[in-house]
């Protein structure tokens, strides 16, 4: 009997996915593997809050895609399920990169509605949050996720100072801070003002890059929950894990599985093949680039585009092209260059220039087309 050529084909109403949401970057897995030590350290720091006391402050460090945000979210969910006397609020500092915007999110999390869009000072905003905590005798635990963005905007010290000194102005206010940094080059403590260093004294929790066996274990569970049986073979999964390990970012592997599945569906296939993975990797390998670009302002995007078109040129020459486009001054230009450098989007290296001494040359850290395509 001849095999039916349509047997391995999907019909219009079929999918290789059992639950595609499993492959979303913000999905919180039911089981959180290979981070037991870090979770235990975080639990230790937050345990006093459940007993009604101020928790220990924490610095959570590690490269992107190492489980930091998931660990915080799972712990906050557990605290919320255990008691209503602790309010936990996670602030995405890539989106909220100023002290005022951070406290606007804290206001929203405290009152369950947004503050007025204008006409309210920081002092009043802060005061209403603190007074509400004292009135309800609640402990507030704030997670400043991607706090490195507050440092890039020189807002970190003021933000932390306000949080850590709240009890002095509002006796009875109990606030703990979890600072989460994804910038390996950033020394959070050293970069803070001395007035903040004297009161911060955090616990340190480090999240290393997952090794390949750990990646295989984590992705296997995602495959089991997200795909129908038999969609991905062990060989294909091992290949995905290999590419993920090379990138050092678990998010690459998770995104890669989803895109490879979509590629299989485009072929109306019931199985994901190696070619589906290879095709998907051309997009998935840039997930950290996409994440970094998503937080840029229009002006910052404009400078990155100028650098892309003047790759490797001296900072002064790049500034002339940037100024022609935006009319901004050199001081603001220099601030944006430093931020793009800190984000790892560009390399701003000092070189010796004949007749001009030391000068910075600016070049992209990624392929030009990859950057420009994502700026469109």
Q: Is 83 annotated as a binding residue?
A: no
Look at residues 155, 21, 46 and name the one whose alpha carbon lies nearest to residue 101.
155
Q: For residues 101 and 359, give the distance between their C-alpha atoms in angstroms, rounded to a whole number.
A: 36
Q: For residues 46 and 276, give the distance between their C-alpha atoms in angstroms, rounded to a whole number.
A: 44
Q: Is 222 annotated as a binding residue?
A: yes
Q: Is 210 annotated as a binding residue?
A: yes
Contact 347, 337 (CB under 8 A): no
Q: Is 248 annotated as a binding residue?
A: no
3-state class of 21 per DSSP? helix
Look at residues 332, 363, 292, 35 and name the one whose alpha carbon lies nearest to residue 148.
292
End-to-end CA distance of the chain: 53
Residue 335: partners with Cβ closer than 8 Å, 6 or more residues away: none
Contact 13, 268 (CB under 8 A): no
Contact 33, 288 (CB under 8 A): no
Contact 88, 207 (CB under 8 A): no
Strand ranges in the chain using DSSP code E only, listed in sequence order: 58-61, 86-92, 139-145, 174-181, 203-206, 313-314, 346-353, 357-364
Residue 130 has which token pair?
């603190």
Q: Is 69 annotated as a binding residue?
A: yes
Residue 266 has which token pair?
């485009």
Look at residues 374, 373, 372 and name the one whose alpha carbon lies nearest to residue 306.
372
* Beta strands at 357-364 and 346-353: parallel, antiparallel or unpaired: antiparallel
Q: For residues 171 and 166, give the distance between their C-alpha atoms in angstroms, rounded to a whole number.
A: 8
What backbone torsions phi and psi does residue 205 show, to the nearest 5 degrees?
A: -125, 120
Binding site residues, as ranges?
66-70, 210, 222
Binding site residues for ATP, as ranges?
66-70, 210, 222
């Amino acid at each position: 009997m001849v095999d039916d050529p349509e047997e391995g084909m999907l019909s219009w109403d079929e999918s290789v996915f059992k639950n595609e949401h499993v492959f979303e970057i913000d999905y919180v897995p039911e089981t959180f593997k290979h981070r037991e030590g870090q979770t235990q350290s975080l639990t230790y720091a937050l345990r006093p809050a459940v007993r009604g006391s101020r928790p220990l402050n924490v610095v959570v460090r590690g490269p992107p895609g190492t489980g930091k945000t998931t660990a915080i979210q799972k712990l906050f969910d557990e605290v919320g399920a255990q008691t209503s006397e602790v309010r936990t609020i996670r602030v995405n500092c890539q989106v909220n990169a100023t002290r005022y915007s951070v406290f606007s999110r804290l206001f929203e999390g405290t009152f369950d509605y947004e503050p007025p869009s204008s006409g309210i000072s920081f002092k009043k905003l802060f005061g209403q949050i603190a007074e509400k905590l004292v009135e309800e005798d609640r402990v507030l635990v704030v997670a400043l996720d991607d706090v490195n963005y507050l440092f890039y905007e020189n807002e970190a010290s003021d933000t932390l100072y306000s949080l850590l000194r709240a009890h002095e102005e509002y006796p009875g206010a109990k606030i703990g801070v979890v600072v989460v940094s994804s910038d390996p080059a950033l020394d959070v403590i050293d970069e803070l003002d001395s007035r903040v260093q004297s009161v911060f004294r955090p616990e340190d929790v480090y999240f290393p890059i997952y090794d390949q066996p750990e990646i295989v274990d984590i992705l296997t569970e995602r495959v089991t929950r997200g795909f129908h049986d038999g969609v991905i073979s062990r060989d294909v999964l091992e290949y995905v894990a290999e590419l993920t390990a090379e990138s050092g970012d678990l998010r690459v592997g998770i995104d890669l599985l989803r895109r490879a599945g979509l590629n299989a569906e485009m072929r109306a296939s019931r199985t994901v093949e190696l070619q589906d993975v290879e095709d998907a990797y051309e997009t998935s390998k840039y997930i950290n680039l996409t994440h970094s670009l998503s937080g840029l302002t229009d002006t910052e995007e404009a400078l990155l585009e100028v650098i892309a078109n003047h790759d490797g040129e001296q900072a002064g020459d790049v500034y002339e092209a940037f100024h022609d486009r935006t009319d901004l001054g050199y001081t603001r230009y220099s601030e944006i260059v430093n931020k793009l450098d800190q984000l790892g989007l560009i390399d701003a290296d000092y070189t010796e220039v004949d007749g001009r001494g030391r000068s910075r040359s600016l070049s992209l850290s990624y392929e030009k087309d990859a950057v420009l395509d994502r700026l469109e």
